Amino acid sequence: MAIQDTARMVSERIETTEINPYEMMLQQLDLVREYTDISDGIWQILRTPERTLEVSVPIVRDDGSIEVFTGYRVQHSSARGPCKGGIRFHPGVTADEVKALAGWMTWKCAVVNIPYGGGKGGISCEPSRFTISELERLTRRYTAMIYPLIGARRDIPAPDVNTNAQIMNWIVDTAQLLSGESTPGIVTGKSIEMGGALGRHEATGRGVMFTTLSVLQRLGMDAEGASVAVQGFGNVGSIAARLLREAGAKIVAISDVSGAFHCPTGFNIDQVLEYVKVSPGHLLAGLPHGGMEEISSDALLTLDVDVLIPAALEAQITARNADAIRARVIVEGANGPTTPEADLILGEKGTVIVPDILANAGGVICSYFEWVQNIQCFPWEEEETNQRLGKIMQRALREVWRLAEERQISLRLAAFILGVERVATAVQLRGVFP
């Protein structure tokens, strides 16, 4: 069966029911198979996470009642180094979602060629329902439950959706209390005072900015005045928007869970950032900004812009809206925002998609720098971090772009081939124990 047919068949099945991110990740992986000579056995290893841990996370609420949540930690691969991947607090967290995200981390670390495997974790919960002390108890209990798996040489969590530096600080502290040892390298994305890296907070958005500018240049498009729509105004989306604005682009649309907003003349991103610092729930709702109108979330995705940056959750660009998307370039700030079926539709239209495993790798690259600094007990200047980040992102983009041109394939396929082949080589070299 032709690759396109396989993709269509599986994607149709996924998209007519609930989109399962794990099936989506496997589907992407299986497409790569046709382009490599990886053996069946190694392929089976790559398709299967090394470890999946499901834990119960009970907490005492402030009113004295007990509530139990379900948490996960998945280690997809440790073939190229310790597992690495964020922790997500969200009602949509499931075992399959975490497995998919862990797999994407494996390919991502390999594409940018840093010495990590892939992992991911999460708790199925709505964190906005918690007080700070409830959130702290939830985090510490979850840390204790996944403690047997994590460690600076084993598996290193980091922030993801709805988790931040404070949550990482609680994880480090809990781990230190359990082990009796100072181990700042057990997580990345900590506060600077706890051993965090200068520049880590901005790194994913900065990487999205680097890749966007680089791709525009390769396509002969001017970054100055380029119109950009950004879905999601959290860590990745807001920082990418600010840095792209500083680089001369015009941010014409932004959104978050509270709504989507269109300003054809371009948002004053500094003003928007000042607003969300103090707005209820740090959301865009109620944003006072001249020349702006509220639009639907779907309308943001289909605006006639040079660049669309999905930076919210997975499966936002699907068979249902891909046809209507008019952006020339999509830079995937979020993990898995485009389904395989949508990918095909957009590919046929000639849309250039910079895949998540490349575009949003800035965070994990800087996490790697943080971990190196923790292990060496030697902090770097922020300038050094940003320079090294730029170098690694440029190198990865160059390699992916070259492979895509040589083989006349999409950037996503090229990035997957590069990443998957590197992991397959490491698995092959290790051999199968015993």
What six digits make up the tokens of 306? 């040079």
Site membership for ligand NAD, residue 196 (CB under 6 A) = no
Smallest distance, ligand NAD to C-beta of residue 220, A:
28
322 touches ligand NAD (CB under 6 A): no
**Positions in 122-141 near ligand NAD (CB under 6 A):** none
Our finding on whether 159 is near ligand NAD (CB under 6 A) is yes
Closest approach, Cβ 256 to ligand NAD, in A, equals 3
- CA-to-CA distance for 334 and 313, rounded, in angstroms? 6
By CB under 6 A, residue 334 contacts ligand NAD: yes
The first and second tokens of residue 246, run together, are 């500083």
Q: Do residues 323 and 346 make contact, with C-beta atoms less than 8 angstroms apart? A: no
- Which residues within the stretch 341-360 sit at the binding site for ligand NAD (CB under 6 A)? 360
* 157 near ligand NAD, judged by CB under 6 A: no
Residue nearest to ligand NAD (CB): 234
Q: Is 120 a catalytic residue?
A: yes
Q: Does 297 bind ligand NAD (CB under 6 A)?
A: yes
Scored b (16 or more CB within 10 A) or e, 270-305 reads eebeebbeeeeeeebeebeeeebeebeeebbbbbeb
Closest approach, Cβ 246 to ligand NAD, in A, equals 18
Instruction: Kindly tell me which residue out of 146, 167, 313, 342 binds ligand NAD, with binding defined by CB under 6 A.
Output: 313
What tokens were used for 17?
């029911």
Taking CA atoms, 279 is separated from 87, 202, 208, in Å, by 25, 21, 26
Q: Is 370 in the site for ligand NAD (CB under 6 A)?
A: no
Q: Which of 108, 120, 190, 250 is catalytic?
A: 120
**Minimal distance in Å, beta carbon 324 to ligand NAD?**
16
Select 257 or 426, whichever has its Cβ closest to ligand NAD.
Answer: 257
Q: Residue 332 interacts with ligand NAD (CB under 6 A)?
A: no
Q: Applying CB under 6 A, does 21 fall inside the site for ligand NAD? A: no
Binding mask 251-270 for ligand NAD (x = CB under 6 A): ----xxx-------------
For ligand NAD, the binding residue among 20, 214, 227, 235 (CB under 6 A) is: 235
Q: In this chain, which stretch among 262-270, 308-316, 322-330, 387-395 interacts with ligand NAD, using CB under 6 A?
A: 308-316
Tokens of 139: 């985090």
Nearer to ligand NAD, 84 or 250 (CB): 84
The residue among 109 and 424 lying less far from ligand NAD, judged by its C-beta, is 109
User: Is 234 among the residues that bind ligand NAD (CB under 6 A)?
Assistant: yes
Q: Does 236 bind ligand NAD (CB under 6 A)?
A: yes
**Residue 285 in contact with ligand NAD, rule: CB under 6 A:** no
User: Is the Cα torsion angle 135, 141, 147, 148 positive or negative in sign?
Assistant: negative
**What does the binding site for ligand NAD look like in residue numbers (CB under 6 A)?**
159-162, 204, 231-237, 255-257, 297, 311-313, 333-335, 360, 363
Residues assigned a catalytic role? 120
